[in-house]
Amino acid sequence: MVKKIIKNLTTTFRVNKSYKQWPGLIKAYKKWLPVNDSTPIITLQEGGTPLLELKSINEIIGKNVKVYAKYDGLNPTGSFKDRGMTMAISKAKEEGCEAVICASTGNTSAAAAAYAKKGHMRSYVLIPDGYVAQGKLAQALVYGAEVLAIKGNFDKALEIVQALSEKYPITLVNSVNPYRLEGQKTAAFEIIDYLGEAPDWLCIPMGNAGNISAYWMGFNQYFKAGLSKKLPKMMGFQAEGSAPLVIGKTVKNPDTIATAIRIGNPVNKEKANIVKEESKGKFTSVTDNEIINAYKLLGNKEGIFCEPASASSVAGLIKLKNEIPNNSVIVCVLTGNGLKDPDCAIKNNDAVFKSGIDPDLNKVAENMGF
Ligand SMILES: *Cc1c(COP(=O)(O)O)cnc(C)c1O
């Protein structure tokens, strides 16, 4: 009798068998990637992230426009960097490498550290002292990276790691590593696979501008294979105090609340300018204030907690509202998870937070407004 009940329960409540576990992006998109059967696949099952419709943004824009967020903050280490890192680390492993190095504003170091450990390698990360969000630093430490904080900004750190990787037997996993962009291009595949067509606009934050270049590569590959009929306009956004690609020259002392894109001399600047030209896109800057407004809006209207750098894609879209053609389909890339930067969240929100309340039903009710 009991046995029968248990059997009924398990058959009733077992997960729908047609939902298999997402295998990670290398397995999912193998034929589009430079891997072969002997490549060891180092994966944390990254990719396959949600594409969420943003109804509150649709309303702000009107014109029958549909806006989606590609929520890449839901990757295993909380940013899109995992897409590139699964490729870079798998290829490094294939080539027999034992240690990797990167310069990072935080997310690259978290991803490099996690994937290096998964592949039984050492990882070294150089970060700008005092300018890495708490969550990201915590991750690099927990994943067992060897963390070196330098008294200089990201651009200086990158210069040093590039030289180190030429001098010592250690693989550089910054976005100058071509495998990073190969992995990251799969986000464009996922968007087309879901929508059935490329969007009209892709809105994306730019730091080193590797990701915008990777998306463009992905959109082009599907387009050439006949899997989409159009190519999106690539709309890149930077923070006003750190906008070398918008003003067309290096920024010596970049400054913004969006630390993930606090980069004054993007390594992929030539690539990015080609993307802008080929796609007939546009690069625009947004103020920290506009970034924070979009950040709050995503949180309290959509239930999406992203990091400030990510919110620049939505801030930028809102800024360009008047230029959006009617009936457009737009995807904003949300590059990283809000939990990465708790300090920013606690300083920038419109929440009701009352503390020091007596543990008493009436007192609590009173504070609730009853
Ligand atoms: C790395 C990063 C970016 C910038 O990406 P690039 O490829 O350097 O342009 C944007 N947002 C977040 C959260 C990042 O981690």
Q: Which residues have C-beta atoms less than 6 Å from ligand 1?
A: 79, 81, 107, 175, 205-211, 260-261, 307, 309-310, 335-336
| HEC-encoded secondary structure of the chain | CHHHHHHHHHHHHCCCCCCCCCCCHHHHCHHHCCCCCCCCCCCCCCCCCCEEECHHHHHHHCCCCEEEEEEHHHCCCCECHHHHHHHHHHHHHHCCCCEEEEECCCHHHHHHHHHHHHCCCEEEEEEECCCCCHHHHHHHHHCCCEEEEECCCHHHHHHHHHHHHHHCCCEECCCCCHHHHHHHCHHHHHHHHHHCCCCCEEEEECCCCHHHHHHHHHHHHHHHCCCCCCCCEEEEEEECCECHHHHCCCCCCCCCCCHHHCCCCCCCHHHHHHHHHHHCCEEEEECHHHHHHHHHHHHHHHCCCECHHHHHHHHHHHHCHHHCCCCCEEEEEECEEHHHCHHHHHHCCCCCCCCCCCCCHHHHHHHCCC
- Res 20: pLDDT: 83
According to the model, what pLDDT value does residue 368 have? 95
pLDDT of 14 reads: 64
In whole angstroms, what is the distance from residue 126 CA to residue 105 CA?
A: 9
* CA–centroid distance, residue 236 to ligand 1 (Å): 11
Q: Which pLDDT value is given to residue 175?
A: 86
Closest approach atom of ligand 1 to CA 205: 10
Q: Assess contact for 33 and 183: CB atoms under 8 A.
A: yes
The confidence score (pLDDT) of residue 331 equals 98
67 CB-near residues (< 8 Å, 6+ apart): 53, 54, 57, 58, 61, 317, 330, 331, 332
Cα(332) to centroid(ligand 1), Å: 13
* Per-run averaged pLDDT (10 residues), the chain, 370 residues: 58 67 96 97 98 98 98 98 98 96 94 97 94 92 96 93 96 94 98 98 97 98 98 98 98 95 95 98 98 98 98 98 98 98 95 94 96
| Substitution candidate for ligand 1 out of 107, 182, 216 with most atoms within 8 A of CB | 107
CA of 222 to the centre of ligand 1 (A): 23
Q: Whose CA is nearest to atom 15 of ligand 1?
A: 107
Q: Give the pLDDT confidence score for residue 75 in this predicted structure.
A: 98
Nearest Cα residue to atom 14 of ligand 1: 260
Nearest to 248 by CA among 199, 283, 295: 283
Would the pTM of this model clear 0.75, i.e. be above it? yes
